Amino acid sequence: MKKITMIGLVSLLGTGAYAQGTLAFFNDNSDCQFQIYSPNPANPSAEQTGFTAAQASVQFGVTGTTVYNGTPIGGSSGSAPGTLGVTSAAYADGNLFDVQLYAAPAGTDSSGANTPTSLSSLSPVSQYFSTFTTSGGSANAYFINPEPSPDAGIPGTALQGSTLINNAYVSVVAWYNGGGQYSTLALARAAGVPWGYSPIVDENGLGEPSSVETALNHGRTTPGSFPTELYGVPSFSLATTPEPSTIALGVMGVGAFLRRTTSRRRIKMKLMKSSLIASTFLLVLLIAGCSTTPAAGPQGPPGPQGPSGYDRDRDRDRDADHGQQDQGREDQSASCPPGEHHDRDKGCVRD
């Protein structure tokens, strides 16, 4: 009896721990059809997303007007892996592209009111992984993932203890795998190859394993419900990103430019400092020279001897006598009547 009880407890614990909500991972069903496109040639680095008119005609409750300029991925094979151009024919080769579901449990958010917008909020679900179709052309450009058996479902969903969580936030992610070189999105992003993802949607009514259905019906044996499909997922395109080597070269170039600029700046600063020191030294010398009294030079030869005091007196007396004589003559001329002048011997004579 104890053994039976223990086995039952272990079974219930196993149900609560491992039973998860399931999903049918393909995009070619008539009522949930969408496609994934190559990058838009007009703007390859920007991802396009939105419902097309063809989607709106088969999906209930959506309207679609988005026009994609890229090529639907899938529908052919045989292209050699290599560097993809924006309009490369390799985009139609379904073997060169991987697609995977990213998901997270939505808890009690059945309305989608709290749906995250960042892909980093979700995690890859390992069993929901596929490449694209390899025949049928663009009309058959889809992906079909065979239903896993057993299907572990989306972690964190379905029966958690006694609570049923049968909805999840999901996004479909696709990337160029380079012929098997990039088996994960992380590797593809690190390599800088084209990739893209759909807007995140809240998928309700996930499928439930039979063990969950039996537990919900109080032990009555009940078959599991079918996995839900990818309802409400719009089409989207991949986008290109710069290659890591290009980014690295850009960073190296900027670093070299900064180092070169810094070196030139240091040399310029050293030259300016040297010039300032030299200018200061010259200014000090100039100021010192202006403030110093020059020393007296050697004495020159004596000049010619000037006149003695006796000679000066004699010359002065002679000049005085001459002045008196001239004054006398002027006085005598002034005493003669008009029309006459004074003669030293004859006196006043007619002119």
Query: What is the rounded CA–CA span in Å between residue 105 and residue 289?
Result: 91
Which range among 13-22, 97-106, 196-205 shows the weakest confidence by mean pLDDT? 13-22
Structure-token pair, residue 340: 């006459």
Give the 3-state DSSP-derived string for 104-128, with helices as H, strands as E and coil as C: EECCCCCCCCCCCCCHHHCEEEEEE
Whether the pLDDT of residue 245 is over 90: the answer is: no
Which range among 58-67, 89-98, 213-222, 333-342 shows the weakest confidence by mean pLDDT? 213-222
Whether the pLDDT of residue 13 is over 80: the answer is: no
**Bridge pairing between strands 36-37 and 340-343:** unpaired
Query: What is the rounded CA–CA span in Å between residue 123 and residue 340?
Result: 149
Cβ-Cβ contacts under 8 Å for 219 (sequence gap 6 or more):
none
Whether the pLDDT of residue 290 is over 60: the answer is: no
Residue 100's SS3 state is strand
Write down the pLDDT at residue 209: 60
Whether the pLDDT of residue 158 is over 90: the answer is: no
What b/e readout covers 5-25, taking b as 16+ CB neighbours within 10 angstroms? eeeeeeeeeebbeebbbbbbb
Write down the pLDDT at residue 184: 97
Structure-token pair, residue 116: 């995250």
Per-residue DSSP letter, 45: T
Write down the pLDDT at residue 2: 41
User: What is the average pLDDT across 38-50?
Assistant: 94
The answer to whether residues 185 and 193 touch, using CB atoms and an 8 Å cutoff, is no
Whether the pLDDT of residue 22 is over 90: the answer is: no
